[in-house]
Amino acid sequence: MGWFVNYEVEFVSHIDWDDEGVDASLGSFDVKHLYLRDLDTPRVILCIYSHNTIKEVLTVLKGLYSTGMRYRVYNTEEWQLFLN
């Protein structure tokens, strides 16, 4: 039995988000995503089932989008840099 955790992820530079490519790449994870368009800083909301970690999912996103990222649990104050 597990639970879902929501995260906000910001990308350092602008990316060309591809829903289908992200879905295909994250297919082995139990994760849903919502990319927020038209923001000054590109941002995605991830809903990740507890059997997977945020770092596993961010590693895949880093492979798709070669830019820096930072993340936080949704609606909290403290951002963490993803260093990989």
pLDDT tens readout for residues 19-66: 999 999 999 999 999 999 888 899 999 999 999 999 999 999 999 999
Which residue, 34, 54, 31, is CA-closest to 42? 34
Residue 83 has pLDDT above 80, yes or no: yes
The answer to whether the Cα torsion of 19, 25, 28, 31 is positive or negative is negative
Say what the pLDDT of residue 46 is.
97
Say what the pLDDT of residue 1 is.
81
Identify the band that residue 14 occupies on the pLDDT scale cut at 50, 70 and 90: very high
Residue 84 has pLDDT above 80, yes or no: no
Domain boundaries, the chain: 16-30+42-66
Which amino acid is residue 35, in one-letter code?
Y
